[in-house]
Structure 1
């Protein structure tokens, strides 16, 4: 029997499971692509400033036609039980293709979600917006990320969304590096949801 997809929920401190063998097939296919095409070994500096001997470059896959639909379905499955969520997005650039994939897959699944983009800084021209796309004021939204290290990129997006009047209910990540992001997100009272971790990829936390 195909094992169920693992989902982490730090708000409840529990492990839940998603429902279908089809989603687990998506997850296993994505794990294979990540191992084959998105894990690079060497000396790297992560966005957090931390040093690492490998780098998981998820943008090679979030922008890949083979992986993007599965990513959309997996993230959509992570957020399916969150009541009232109407949009997903996060800090540009890493979150942008994920949000787009989720938006498209949500239409196919009959539960349409909109997408938004959080700029690193507000525009200095035009309408001066920091958040583009869906109107998030007064709306329940989820922040998405491709990989997590310390959670600071997600928290920067959370801060901007809260200033705009959004209710951020969770952060959903494709690859959890298990290096502190979960605790940082939980400390903000947000639910943490993940699809793949380093054990799945045969990598050790750094």
Structure 2
């Protein structure tokens, strides 16, 4: 059936059903990018649910570049996904670290902008995101990781809204791999 397992396609169908029921709304919305939209996706009701997070983690584990030694994301949207994926990897005996990127560097203690284990310079890191619109926030995460001498080649997202994010990431030499696009919800 392709490069993915049968379980992958089954889990993908289950996840889409949950997202449609719990995360998708139609109306008039302003997105974090500032754009207006008649479609709104908030994946947190699914990613903060045990079954939903388990599905996302299974799917992302299969989608992720096997060379990647860590996953990272900008707080808050990526926090549950990063945690879910590293736990899922550990349960399968796979070594995978997680990094959480702060929106603002804390002004006390170590003044860290990235939380998590200290990894070697040049470590390949996969960035996780729930919804990509213009990719503005995910590009901030990529830049912060690169400033700390990590290598970023891919972003995994639950949904690509297809509003320029793919192209913006290509400009950063990063590949976007999304489980779904906005068309799956229409």
Shorter-chain TM-score tier: over 0.9
Map 1:27-46; keep pairs closer than 5 Å.
Answer: 27-46=12-31
Which residue of structure 1 aligns with residue 4 of structure 2?
A: 19
Residue in structure 1 matching 2:133, options 149, 161, 170: 149
- Which structure has more relative contact order (CA 8 Å, sep 6+)? It is 1
Map 1:44-193; keep pairs closer than 5 Å.
Answer: 44-79=29-64, 81-83=65-67, 85-138=68-121, 139-193=123-177
3-state SS of 1:44 partner: strand
Q: Within 2, Cα distance between the matches of 1:194 and 1:78?
A: 9
3-state SS of 2:142 partner: helix
Q: Is the 8 A contact 1:18 1:77 kept in 2?
A: no
- CA RMSD of the aligned region, Å? 1.3
How far does residue 137 in structure 1 lie from its aligned partner after superposition? 4.4
Q: Within 1, Cα distance between the matches of 2:170 and 2:93?
A: 30
**What do residues 156-184 of structure 1 show as CA deviations (whole Å, max 9, x unaligned)?**
00111111111112111111111110111
Number of equivalent positions = 185
Greater percentage in helix? 2
**What do residues 29-68 of structure 1 show as CA deviations (whole Å, max 9, x unaligned)?**
0000011111112211101000011211101111111200
Q: Within 2, Cα distance between the matches of 1:175 and 1:136?
A: 28
Give structure 2 stretches of 5+ with no counterpart. Answer: none
Q: Within 2, Cα distance between the matches of 1:21 and 1:108?
A: 20
3-state SS of 1:123 partner: coil
